[in-house]
Structure 1
Amino acid sequence: MPLPKGGKPSKIVYPPNCKEVSEDIGKDELVRRLKMLARVFQDMGQDENEKYSELALHLATEFFFDHASKDVRLLVACCIADVFRIFAPEAPYRDPDHLKEIFMFLVKQLRGLEDPESPSFKHSQEIFCNLYKLMFSIINEKHSAKVRTFMLDMMVPLITEADTVSQELLDTILINLIEPYKSQNKLAYNLAKDLLRKTSCAVEPYIQTFFNNLLMIGKTSESEVSDHLYELIYELNMISGTMLLAVLPQLEFKLKSSEEIERKNVTRLLAKMFSDPDSELATQHRVLWNCFLGRFNDISTGVRTVCVQYAQRFILHHSDLVKDIIEQLKIRQHDPEETVRMEVVSAVLNAAKKDFKMITDELLAFIKERTLDKKFKIRREALLGLAHLYKTYINQDPDNTAIAKRLAWVKDKVFHAYYQHSPEDRLLVERIFNTCLVPYTLPTSERMKRLHNLYTSLDEHALKAFNELLKYQHGVRVCVLQWIDALEQNLQGCPAPVVAKLIALARQLPEPHKAQEHLKKFNHILREDKRVRHCLKALVSSDCTCRKAEDAVKEILRKVGNPGQQTPFYTAVKSLLERIAPVMIDADAISALVKYNCDVISGLIYVDDGVLAAGEKGLKLLLALSSVFPPCFNRESVFEDLLTFLKNEDEVISDLTLQIFVNTGSNLKKDCPNIYSSLLPVLQTTAKMGNIRQTKHAIKCISIVYKHEKESILQQVFEHVKKSLNPESANFLTSIVSMGHIAQICPGEFSTEMKNVVSKLIVKDLLMQDRTQGVHVHDSWYADHAISEETQAKVLAMKMLVRWLLGLRNNAGNSATSTLRLLYTVIIHEGDLMERGKINKPELARLRLQAGCCMLKLAEEPCFAELITREQFQALALLINDSCYQVRLRFAMKLNKGLLSLRLPLEYMSIFSLAANDPVKERRAQVKQFLYANISKRREYLKQHATAGSKIFSLLPDYMLPYTIHLCLWFVMDPLMSRSEDYNYAFFRRMIEDIKQTKDAQGPEDEEMNKV
């Protein structure tokens, strides 16, 4: 097809500052106009093409292609080459024959490259570059593989056979490797990679020169890709590692740059290159690798963060490098910056989610340690990550025993976090328990099976935390119920302390001050919306099912906000509902759990711990639940199974079942009369002939289940055990325990008989007698099973005396005074009441410890506390300095328990001060923690209870100071105060302040020693 003739086509639009080009213009003027047009086209983007299509067609006419001037033809070729780029992928040249003529014209103009000295050489180079630009711009998905290969075959020889590769040409190729071009045109990106791979030998020296100028000399380049230095290095390394052999070692200097941003960019680049799958760069460049590892300790937080962020890739793709990475993460998990510590946690957990097999135990230990981080958000990330791993690999894939064994500690670690006092931590543990450890969405039978298996596999500390979790949630539910009752009283016009309830409730939520405001707002909603109030009341009612609880929570949350846009108010209400909603336990759940435990005890279900151990732990779970959800046990089928447990030969199982009946059997006569009548003979037999614990709980169970007939029932038991109250009887110990509990429960009915029993049998015939000679041992303490029966009887006898007095609650006949004098004598005689020397050291320790614990128990009752003399108090206090470690330990724990319950008088807190003499450092630290806990408890109590102000002298911990002086400094007070001067008060105050500010001369740099 012949080319279109030249002329003046209508409506040709020219770019700004460009003049018309046509046949009637002279050669020199035409060249000037075409140069301007070529320059404008070269700088033009692809978004400006439509209006110049007529101009593009005008240039591709016979007049310009056959022009006598080489310069005109070259300039027109340059313009047309840019036209292809600007209009890509659809050029304005539609006719195939016309397109062929255009390409032939462009090829002819490349002859200008023959002579570098020729004036047209520069223009021909432009065509050369434009040709490459054309290829990269026109390639598209419509092209077959054959066409793409043809393009490559045409482009490769032009580079490999050239004497030189210009920077402009290099830029034309490299620009396709960087963003945004890389993403916008994937085919051009792949074409550039293939071209570089095939021409690597030819372009290598030019690439090295380009990078050397930038990296080493710092020479600025006019290249348009010079600002993408590190991105190019990464891409070129992916294409051909040999291309950068001389460049990579120079990055070591950049890693040590004084510029933070430069170190950060190089660190990110090397982290990507080293961590890529199948990368062998770390092996090939050990010096560079070691230099990179050094950036984990960079002074810049940003650089350290980049290093840690890429740790995940190393863990997943390079097991040979993991050891080096672990060494660095070991340090970084203790980084002073929380962002770095958080990245350590995220890196390990993300890697674990993708491929848990690549995670070493040491990496898991890092996460385990971060669950104790000082920052809550890091603790939360670590705990949630571990919990999701547990849910994924243990709950959803229980057959994978290898992984299950490695993650078995996670459940314990989650519950250990409940020992944190902040509401945020506790709420997090509760949420994890309900969603990951035992998902509440599971069917009831499966959910209870998971709960049973979880509880029976927890360690001791986790079990305590689990039980505390149940009690804590129950306390919040009770608080909410009181709040609703107070609110309803207000609505009926009766005064009730609603605000006080809100303040108490806010303390159970994160950020109590803000939570208080949110609860006030929620309180307003409850006042106005009866339906919301009904739903909240249903949540804390005793008959709420798991399904009802879930529905009620959803309905309340719909009323308070939009889940998609969670406001602080919405979050606070949601946190409260999560704490109180019984989504795990209801009557159906308890039935399923009792049934499952029944199958475990009977051996129908295999468990790893053994039938009895798992059965006992399952009953401990039921016991914990019975104290919080007693109405859920109120089914005859449940009580029938419990009655079966009660008759079990295993003493522990029957004892635990007795305790469950104590918690749940108060309405047994009304709700389950058959169980009510069947239970009594079993309880009577147990109270008479069971072991010590069984007897105790059987009598307590009788007093609760048979509350209206307890006197007549216990009278029969009393008469029976009274006959066995002699050392020769097989039920001697049981009889002592039984009589003590009966006397406490029914003091009036048995007062006369008990006084005779106490004075004759307990004191004279037991406590004041030493019938056996103790075996001589050097140890100051030994295990419970090694204690002689006589010493066991004496220990139980002292407990019985205390229970008898606690039932009487008075000093009738000086019974309490005599008992306190007896206990005091046991203590000052170091356990040997009559000082006959027949009792060995371990049993003496038991006796004086028990005497001290009994005095503490009596001191909890005001009527007895005032009877304790100064000498008795001092002797009791000195037990914390006892020569036997176990006596010191157990006495301090008993003392702490009484003080934390606010039952012991304030002066007993001063006893802790004597523990400063303890030779064991750990004991001193433990007692110090006891002291801190008690001070905190009392101050918090005073804040929460405004009415307690009247008792401030017995509650405020500061008032223990006089008692501490009494115990520790009494011998210096008289000399100092005997001649009181006006300056004494100011002098002592100044001295105390100076002491607090002065460093201890024994350890002036020791922070712990100087912490006051």
Structure 2
Amino acid sequence: RLEATQYFKCAQETSVHPNQIGFSHVFTMTNEIGFELIYPENCKEISEDLKPEEFRKRINDINNALQILLSRSGADDDSVDEQSQEVECRPTNASKERLKYAGIFIHLLSPQFTHYPDIDIRLRICVALCRMLTIFCPINPFENASNCQSVIGDLLRFLNECILNITKLHSKQDVNYPRLHTILYTCCKLDVFTWCRLLDDGDKVLLETLKTIFTLMRNLKIWAWSDEGVVQNFVLETLVTLMHQTTHLLSDEIVLFLLKFLIEPAKSTQPHQHLLAKDLILRMAPQIEYPIQLLLQNSLVKSDQTTTNTNESDGEVLDHDHEPLGEHTYILIYALHTLQESLVTPILPCVGLKLKSLIPRERKRAFRLLTRIFSEPNSTLHQTDPELWTAFLSRFNDIDVQIRSFCIQMVPLLLKNSEIPKLQIFDCLKTSAIDRSDAVRLLALKTVASLMREAKDDSIDNFFELIHNRSRDKSLTIRKEALAELASFYKRCLLSGKLDHERMTIALNATLHMYYQPSTEDKIAVERLFKSCIIPYNLDTRQRVQSLFLCYQLADSASIKSIQELLKMQFAAATLIRDAMAIILDNHGKKLVGESSKEMMERIHKISLLLPKSEKSIDSLKRFFNTLHTDNVLRTSLSQLLHPRCPSHQSAQCLRDILKRISRPPPSAVGSTAHSTPAADTVYEHTVKLLLERCASVLFDEAFGQELLTQLVVSRETLDSSTESGVSPAVPATPSLAHIELTRGLRILLALSVYHKETLPADDVLTHLQSVLASVPSNTMPEVLANTKTDEDPPTPTELSLQIICCMLGGGPIYGTRDAGGSGIVMEQHLDPDSLRASLTAESNKKATQSTIKNTSKVHGPGLYSGSASQLYEEALVILPWLKSFCTTGMTSDCPPLIPETAPPELKSPAAATATAINSRKRGAASVPSGIRKKKVPVKEKEATELKKNEEVEAAI
């Protein structure tokens, strides 16, 4: 017999195209294999010799005849039932009657028709084939034929080719839409594609069919004949039936084709295909899970070999056909796990082994996958597989630094699962926080900080303690990060109004204690945090004052001393820059030469001591002061910034203006910096920024001083009235509490009177201090007796008040020249304690009190007191006895002043006597035995001393 395949082979061997073979040959072939070429009623025969118009007319006649035949049998292929998707195939009365069109079916599958140039004619031929398939249903007339492989293979390929034309549709009004709809709907309804199970190369045809159907889903919105969901379910049912009947044909290529739609980029760019693939895998899970698991396991096993070969290839192109999944293995495992856990459960032990791979990249990829799996909501994998969980946590101690860092990065994602044992994760973070690598410790600290910001109040303790411990790290970067987080926590509590006094106290003291570090970077970090978090400079005046009160309430003695050192450093920096500015103003419009240049370089060297890497900062400082010498706008802004009475908001604005000015110099100054590099410009801007931050007073101004004194007076009156009336406020106002509040307020006033006395209202301060002195009992004694062995000797309110008065009158350890009301102490003396002590001793021996007062009055204009002379005299009558008693006899008869063992030979001035008396009450004077303070002074000697010093004080006044 001449079979169909032999027929086409014969045509090729004789070098004759099938289109050149006559119609009689085709009729003979169909007759020989058992099918006659019978046309429907009133239809003419079809051949390749027909013109296109005639061909189209005759094929239309055949379609119309077949449609009429289907209508008579009750199987209308063009009718779409949207409510039912059941396949309804009604066989005709006789098998012979059903199969009489098999001959013309094979005839239309001839290459001269399936490869016809006109797409419209090919679609009409395909419609005729689909209608004949409906007539044959449920019988496949070619299943047992000798040419089954050829006919079915050609049919399925031709159907796929025609169906793909759906992707070219632009709307349902396209002329080809009805024919394409008929083809697709008939193929799905009759399950024609299941015939690929009869082919030897059925897996290839099945893959081609799947590709065709998934391609159609791209423009489902255009060709869907009903609701998109209904049509998608219709197609899904077709694919499920197809996969059920072709399970033996599932190959790795088919599984890979389905899996690629579960991950990116198909997941985002092709949502319909992604949804169809996901639903299909779920419906086919029992049949498809084993091929999937086998494919994934083989990929995991071969991944180590691939990575090793890649490292050893030296740039050679490798053949990755043995690992078809490539880099997507772990991503697919996670996608399948989220789809259905049973699909990848047998693979997880293999993933656990990858955690111990010799290749760091494989360990990292396995850790990332397990992190995503463990972090799934309500995941209990850590309970069902404890060995895998233990192996997972062991990676926090991996030998590779990058993997340890990556493990820390995954912690926030891991903690999204509420079922995860958080204590074990926190233990891993604690281990990472003391890692030998600075980068790992820093990353662990940042991670803990972010977790603490998101944590609830009941789970914040562990995070806070870890951050507090890292504030003493040996690495400067880690210390700064820890301090910044502690200060941020303090600020959040401060602004929210929910004061957590215990943690705020720890955060405040830890931050301020860092000012004792020898590193300049640490001091600068503390100064920044003090102005931005502890007392935020952007708050209004009232809130800043309240923040300062709270700071002094929570701070310990060491922290208070660090605040004083901070203010002292700020005052010293401002004084040095004012000195440099004075030299520039004295030589305005002239070049600095000779002594002026020498003095300027001395000031620059002193200022460089305030900056980190002082030797390298000298060049930037030279550039800054050179610019300051020629730029009037910059000089004006700096003068406003350094003015003692500059408002806080104006100081902040001047600081921003200066930084903006130096980052964008005027055109006249561009030429002088044309040779500088971007790196040098960055260093220059950073240096100037640090310098201005250290000297700018953005917290304290006259409004602050007035508000501070107002709140002190109100607080004192409230406590006094509560104590006298016996009414219990929110916090019981006991005498000890009133004493503590009074002492704290006087401490704040003392700190400001030393370094910011211009901001305090002098008249009101004297009035307040007078009321304090008048209200303190005469028998008040310090809380710690003089004969105790402890170093603590807390100051009394009277002592603090008198120290404030001394500072307001021009005394006190103020930096700067004597003409500015200071004591003449310079920067180097602060850096060298011995030099500072020698300077203070030499200053106390000078008898220049009167000239200093005169010069001070010249600089500041009006004196301390703005009232009349009679009013000043009345105030002096109250204050002077206290000063006299303080300088001569001590605070009380029970606590006399310390008598030096060796008196100085020369007579001290009143100012020196005052300083000596104050210094004699320094806390914990180790050189003086405890019994000296209780030694009784002879009456005659005491009276003589009092008389002598009284004369000196009166002469000074």
TM-based fold match above 0.5: yes
**Which position in structure 2 is the counterpart of 1:21?**
none
Q: Is the 8 A contact 1:177 1:192 kept in 2?
A: yes
Q: Is the 8 A contact 2:221 2:228 kept in 1?
A: no
Distance 1:237 1:749 in 2: 83
Tell which deviates more after alignment, 491-500 or 417-426.
491-500
**Which position in structure 1 is the counterpart of 2:159?**
77
1:636 to 748, 752, 763: 763
Secondary structure of the 1:116 match is helix
Q: Displacement of 1:369 after TM fit?
A: 2.1
**Which position in structure 1 is the counterpart of 2:524?**
427
One-letter amino acid of the counterpart of residue 480, structure 1 = I
Closer/same/farther in 2, CA of residues 119 and 739 from structure 1, 3 Å limit? closer
* Structure 2 counterparts to residues 438-837 of structure 1, below 5 A: 438-491=535-588, 493=590, 495-496=595-596, 497-561=599-663, 567-603=682-718, 610-649=737-776, 652-666=796-810, 668=863, 671-673=866-868, 676-687=872-883, 689=885, 695-696=886-887, 731=893, 734=896, 746=908, 791-793=934-936
Closer/same/farther in 2, CA of residues 221 and 600 from structure 1, 3 Å limit? farther
Q: Displacement of 1:119 after TM fit?
A: 4.6
Secondary structure of the 2:331 match is helix
**Which position in structure 2 is the counterpart of 1:413?**
510
Closer/same/farther in 2, CA of residues 224 and 80 from structure 1, 3 Å limit? farther
**Which position in structure 1 is the counterpart of 2:12?**
none
Distance 1:736 1:212 in 2: 87
1:254 to 354, 365, 369: 354
Q: Displacement of 1:490 after TM fit?
A: 3.3
User: Which consecutive unaligned segments of at least 5 residues does structure 2 have?
Assistant: 1-47, 54-106, 130-149, 306-319, 666-677, 720-728, 781-795, 811-856, 858-862, 914-923, 951-957
One-letter amino acid of the counterpart of residue 478, structure 2 = I
Q: Which whole-Å deviations, capped at 9, do the CAs of 1:91-134 have from their partners, x for residues lacking one?
A: 99675423312413654896353363425634530343124523
Q: Displacement of 1:618 after TM fit?
A: 2.4
**Which position in structure 1 is the counterpart of 2:139?**
none
1:168 to 229, 235, 253: 253
Closer/same/farther in 2, CA of residues 510 and 328 from structure 1, 3 Å limit? same
Q: Alignment identity in percent?
A: 23
Distance 1:172 1:7 in 2: 43
Closer/same/farther in 2, CA of residues 744 and 548 from structure 1, 3 Å limit? farther
User: Which consecutive unaligned segments of at least 5 residues does structure 1 have?
Assistant: 10-23, 35-54, 690-694, 700-720, 752-780, 808-1012
Secondary structure of the 1:374 match is coil
Closer/same/farther in 2, CA of residues 317 and 395 from structure 1, 3 Å limit? farther
Distance 1:192 1:61 in 2: 28
Q: Displacement of 1:340 after TM fit?
A: 0.9
Distance 2:748 2:632 in 1: 37
Q: Which whole-Å deviations, capped at 9, do the CAs of 1:395-433 have from their partners, x for residues lacking one?
A: 23223x5x5544441111111222222232222222222
Closer/same/farther in 2, CA of residues 474 and 223 from structure 1, 3 Å limit? same
Distance 1:152 1:539 in 2: 75
Closer/same/farther in 2, CA of residues 199 and 26 from structure 1, 3 Å limit? closer
One-letter amino acid of the counterpart of residue 538, structure 2 = T
**Which position in structure 2 is the counterpart of 1:229?**
329
Structure showing greater radius of gyration is 2
Q: Which whole-Å deviations, capped at 9, do the CAs of 1:45-81 have from their partners, x for residues lacking one?
A: xxxxxxxxxx995696224555796544433333455
Distance 1:358 1:314 in 2: 20
Distance 1:362 1:795 in 2: 62
Distance 1:99 1:250 in 2: 48
Distance 2:285 2:387 in 1: 25
Distance 2:901 2:925 in 1: 28
Residues paired across the two proteins, number: 702
Distance 1:521 1:60 in 2: 84
Q: Which whole-Å deviations, capped at 9, do the CAs of 1:489-537 have from their partners, x for residues lacking one?
A: 3336573222222232223223334432222222222112112111112
Distance 1:206 1:457 in 2: 67
Q: Which whole-Å deviations, capped at 9, do the CAs of 1:564-602 have from their partners, x for residues lacking one?
A: 999332222222222222110011101111222222233
1:61 to 103, 108, 123: 123
Residue 213 of structure 2 is aligned to residue 111 of structure 1: no
**Which position in structure 2 is the counterpart of 1:239?**
339
Q: Which whole-Å deviations, capped at 9, do the CAs of 1:907-966 have from their partners, x for residues lacking one?
A: xxxxxxxxxxxxxxxxxxxxxxxxxxxxxxxxxxxxxxxxxxxxxxxxxxxxxxxxxxxx
Closer/same/farther in 2, CA of residues 320 and 252 from structure 1, 3 Å limit? closer
Closer/same/farther in 2, CA of residues 523 and 465 from structure 1, 3 Å limit? same
**Which position in structure 2 is the counterpart of 1:49?**
none
Q: Displacement of 1:451 after TM fit?
A: 1.3
Closer/same/farther in 2, CA of residues 352 and 437 from structure 1, 3 Å limit? same
Closer/same/farther in 2, CA of residues 420 and 805 from structure 1, 3 Å limit? farther
Q: Is the 8 A contact 1:474 1:628 kept in 2?
A: yes
**Which position in structure 1 is the counterpart of 2:300?**
215
Distance 2:352 2:206 in 1: 37
Distance 2:949 2:765 in 1: 35
Q: Structure 2 length as normaliser, TM-score?
A: 0.65
Residue 210 of structure 2 is aligned to residue 129 of structure 1: yes
2:286 to 196, 201, 205: 201
Q: Displacement of 1:477 after TM fit?
A: 0.9
Q: Which whole-Å deviations, capped at 9, do the CAs of 1:770-819 have from their partners, x for residues lacking one?
A: xxxxxxxxxxx999999668744589999999999999xxxxxxxxxxxx
Q: Is the 8 A contact 1:156 1:199 kept in 2?
A: yes
Closer/same/farther in 2, CA of residues 577 and 93 from structure 1, 3 Å limit? farther
Distance 2:738 2:911 in 1: 43
Q: Is the 8 A contact 2:375 2:417 kept in 1?
A: yes
Distance 1:69 1:533 in 2: 96
Q: Is the 8 A contact 2:123 2:180 kept in 1?
A: no
Q: Displacement of 1:152 after TM fit?
A: 4.4
Q: Is the 8 A contact 1:387 1:414 kept in 2?
A: yes
Secondary structure of the 2:587 match is helix
Q: Is the 8 A contact 2:763 2:865 kept in 1?
A: no
1:397 to 496, 499, 502: 496
Closer/same/farther in 2, CA of residues 537 and 408 from structure 1, 3 Å limit? same
Closer/same/farther in 2, CA of residues 597 and 211 from structure 1, 3 Å limit? same
Tell which deviates more after alignment, 158-167 or 450-459.
158-167
Distance 1:369 1:273 in 2: 32
Q: Structure 1 length as normaliser, TM-score?
A: 0.61
Q: Is the 8 A contact 1:398 1:404 kept in 2?
A: no
Distance 1:7 1:428 in 2: 91
Q: Is the 8 A contact 1:626 1:633 kept in 2?
A: yes
Closer/same/farther in 2, CA of residues 89 and 547 from structure 1, 3 Å limit? farther
Closer/same/farther in 2, CA of residues 197 and 582 from structure 1, 3 Å limit? farther
